[in-house]
């Protein structure tokens, strides 16, 4: 690779994963924690994952997700490392939301990203930090060839969040839960895993 090509690759990666002021880490959301959340037992769920969870984890949309992910884990336990995680802001240690992938890479090497920031912590850069961290995690796995996001065309905040990360609009789909969604993808080869 020439010096110019190497520099172009570094610059492309810098454009794909914009630097931000926020840092996050993930803690796996276990089956036991999701079960506790479905039983409205926030304390037990927090004890299971080792962090204090917020009421946001009991919201209707979150409960739908826990139920869905539990069914997914029952059918395919090997998905565990790819699914829902608690998002913790660093260095504060504050729980700011949940995130993960819809599952492990499919037969084409595609993974779909999903994340949700607690309304109490929105508009502070956490969604961008989560997105960058998930992109790095996916790019580090040799099985991943494509990362996908789906966003409602009316969701201006989410569309703004992904701006500058290198995603390309590739189509639309109808989701039974969310309605019309625009599909965005980026090749994993364009993402720096570091």
For the 21-142 domain, the top CATH level (class) is alpha beta
Query: What pLDDT is recorded for position 17?
Result: 55
Query: What pLDDT is recorded for position 184?
Result: 96
Query: What pLDDT is recorded for position 131?
Result: 95
Query: What pLDDT is recorded for position 15?
Result: 38
**All residues at 6 or more sequence positions from 9 whose CB lies less than 8 Å from its CB, including other chains:** 1
Can you list the residues of the chain whose pLDDT is less than 70? 1-21, 193-194
Query: What pLDDT is recorded for position 11?
Result: 40
Query: What pLDDT is recorded for position 20?
Result: 64
Query: What pLDDT is recorded for position 192?
Result: 77
Q: 27 exposed, middle or buried (CB, 10 Å; 0-12, 13-18, 19+)?
A: middle
**All residues at 6 or more sequence positions from 92 whose CB lies less than 8 Å from its CB, including other chains:** none
Query: What pLDDT is recorded for position 122?
Result: 92
Domain ranges of the chain: 21-142
Query: What pLDDT is recorded for position 179?
Result: 81
**pTM for this predicted structure:** 0.86
């Amino acid at each position: 690779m020439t010096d110019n090509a190497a520099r172009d690759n570094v610059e492309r990666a810098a454009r794909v994963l914009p630097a931000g002021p926020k840092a996050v880490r993930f803690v796996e959301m276990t089956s036991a924690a999701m079960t506790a959340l479905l039983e409205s037992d926030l304390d037990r769920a927090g004890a299971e994952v080792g962090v204090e969870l917020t009421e946001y984890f009991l919201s209707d949309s979150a409960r739908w997700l826990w139920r869905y992910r539990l069914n997914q884990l029952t059918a395919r336990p090997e998905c565990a490392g790819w699914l829902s995680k608690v998002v913790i802001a660093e260095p504060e240690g504050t729980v700011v939301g949940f995130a993960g992938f819809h599952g492990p890479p499919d037969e084409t090497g595609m993974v779909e990203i999903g994340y949700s920031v607690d309304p109490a912590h929105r508009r502070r850069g956490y969604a961008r930090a989560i997105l960058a961290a998930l992109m790095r995690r996916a790019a580090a796995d040799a099985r991943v060839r494509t990362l996908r996001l789906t966003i409602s065309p009316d969701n201006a905040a989410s569309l703004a969040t992904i701006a500058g990360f290198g995603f390309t609009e590739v189509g639309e789909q109808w989701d039974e839960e969310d309605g019309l969604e625009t599909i965005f993808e980026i090749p994993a080869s364009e993402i720096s895993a570091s």
